[in-house]
Amino acid sequence: MAGRKLSILLVAIFVLLMAMEGAIAQGQGKGDGNGNGNGNGNGNGKGQGDTNGKGKGKEQDKGKGEEEEKEKGKEKKPKKKKDEASEYEVLSALPSGQERAFCKAKNTCQFKTLSCPAECQKRKPKNNKKAKGCFIDCSSKCEATCKFRKSKCDGYGALCYDPRFVGGDGVMFYFHGAKGGNFAIASDDEFQINAHFIGTRPEGRTRDYTWVQALSVMFDTHTLVIAANRVSKWDDNVDSLIVKWDGEEISVPTDGEAEWRANGDEREVVVERTDETNNVRVTVSGLLEMDIRVRPIGEKENKVHNYQLPSDDAFAHLETQFRFKKHTDSIEGILGQTYRPGYVSPVKRGVPMPMMGGEDKYQTPTLYSTTCKHCRFERPSGSASTEGIIAQY
């Protein structure tokens, strides 16, 4: 009887030992796959264990980390900026002739219909060189107003005088550049605008007085150049504006619609006169708009600033106001950088001439070159030649 009891006891002990061994193995292999396991069977193991109890949690966590690093390493494409003001569909005019537009911009003006004022019924009036045009603005302003279509040197995106800019952030600054130099005004994924500087350095001065004589607008495979012709004596009644499209000089009509048009690949280009002479509006559909005026340095201005200009040169130059219809958050250029979200101007406020540096970042070899340290635009192959337009100073 005693032997039988001993046998039963031994069997029970054996079964208990087997059960304990199984529990230990199971504890070493369990896991919820969240990468927190240490796989050592101490009850905290949360890796996906194999039959040897070695957790795979760390491996999965490592793999997840590598994927995240790859995602971080990928360069995110800059967001495209839309021009909300012009996001509208033109509707039929009212019986009075006033043009209307249905706003599509995703803001407080969305789905609203704006009508031109009675004082300026059309966006482009017949007598477009003298009369005000209707400006429909579907941005948060949500208004239709009458405006002369000429550059404003105190407005956003202005480039005038001895180059003085007003940035997209509203901050005014000066950029001197250099006589005979070329600089990127704006450079983005789909376009670049360069400026050619003319200038003079009177005796005793340490820097050049400079002005913008020409602009080169480059997009797709095309180049549009707007330049001021060199003249010895200024006459308001003589047109001193030069326009070239892909290297060929074009003539902008002075009568009728007073405009020149071209279809460049997917974009329409329009150059229209906004006065009898020396004033144009340039539009590259979907990209930008520029109001440009050619003007000289007058005798009074020459004396006040002590430019000491030669008597045989009026130093005709451009005054321009830019409006960028679409740009990325990474836009570059002397002016372009001021349109980036969160941009903080480095210029000193409260001084008569706040200076913006960056000559080394934005200088290009020629007016038509897209190469500079911070330039973004890259020309497709087959771009048109545009040599031989800029007068040498």
Identify the DSSP state of 384. P
Could you tell me if 130 and 264 lie in one domain?
Answer: no
End-to-end CA distance of the chain: 125
177 within a domain of the structure (yes/no):
yes
The answer to whether residues 327 and 355 touch, using CB atoms and an 8 Å cutoff, is no
284 within a domain of the structure (yes/no):
yes
From first to last of its 393 residues, the chain has per-residue pLDDT tens of 555 555 666 656 665 656 565 554 444 444 444 434 444 444 444 444 444 444 444 444 444 444 544 444 444 444 444 567 878 999 999 999 999 999 998 999 999 999 999 999 998 876 666 778 898 999 999 999 998 778 889 999 999 999 999 999 999 999 989 999 999 999 999 999 999 999 999 888 888 999 999 999 999 999 999 999 999 999 999 999 999 999 999 999 988 888 999 986 678 999 999 988 999 999 999 899 999 999 999 999 999 999 999 989 999 999 999 999 889 999 999 999 999 999 999 999 889 899 999 899 999 999 999 999 999 999 887 555 455 555 443
388 within a domain of the structure (yes/no):
no
Pairwise CA distance, residues 59 & 37, whole Å: 10
389 within a domain of the structure (yes/no):
no
Q: Which of 35, 335, 369 is nearest to 174 (CA)?
A: 335
Could you tell me if 286 and 329 lie in one domain?
Answer: yes
Could you tell me if 138 and 189 lie in one domain?
Answer: no
62 within a domain of the structure (yes/no):
no
Could you tell me if 108 and 207 lie in one domain?
Answer: no
Pairwise CA distance, residues 311 & 296, whole Å: 12
Could you tell me if 191 and 306 lie in one domain?
Answer: yes
Q: Does residue 77 sit in helix, strand or coil?
A: coil
User: Residues in the chain, how many?
Assistant: 393
Please tell me the total count of domains within the chain.
2
pLDDT, tens digit, 9 for 90 and up, residues 20-55: 655 544 444 444 444 344 444 444 444 444 444 444
pLDDT, tens digit, 9 for 90 and up, residues 357-373: 989 999 999 999 999 99
Find where tokens 């150049």 sit.
225
Find where tokens 């002016």 sit.
335
Q: Which positions ≥6 away from 201 have C-beta within 8 Å?
A: 179, 207, 208, 209
Could you tell me if 218 and 328 lie in one domain?
Answer: yes
Pairwise CA distance, residues 49 & 58, whole Å: 11
For residue 224, what are its two tokens? 């549009």
Q: Which domain holds residue 132?
A: 80-90+97-147
For residue 372, what are its two tokens? 């500079």
Identify the DSSP state of 278. S
Pairwise CA distance, residues 357 & 52, whole Å: 66
List alpha helices for 52-169, DSSP H.
57-73
268 within a domain of the structure (yes/no):
yes
Instruction: Give the distance from CA 280 to its chain's centroid.
Output: 22
194 within a domain of the structure (yes/no):
yes
Pairwise CA distance, residues 86 & 386, whole Å: 31
Pairwise CA distance, residues 277 & 236, whole Å: 7
The answer to whether residues 165 and 356 touch, using CB atoms and an 8 Å cutoff, is yes
Q: Does residue 198 sit in helix, strand or coil?
A: strand
Q: Does residue 109 sit in helix, strand or coil?
A: coil
Ramachandran quadrant class, 370 (left: phi over 0; alpha: psi -120 to 50; beta: rest): alpha
For residue 4, what are its two tokens? 């039988």
Task: Give φ, ψ of 370 to 5 degrees.
Answer: -100, 15
Identify the DSSP state of 83. -
Could you tell me if 223 and 351 lie in one domain?
Answer: yes
Instruction: Give the distance from CA 118 to its chain's centroid.
Output: 35
Could you tell me if 130 and 266 lie in one domain?
Answer: no
274 within a domain of the structure (yes/no):
yes
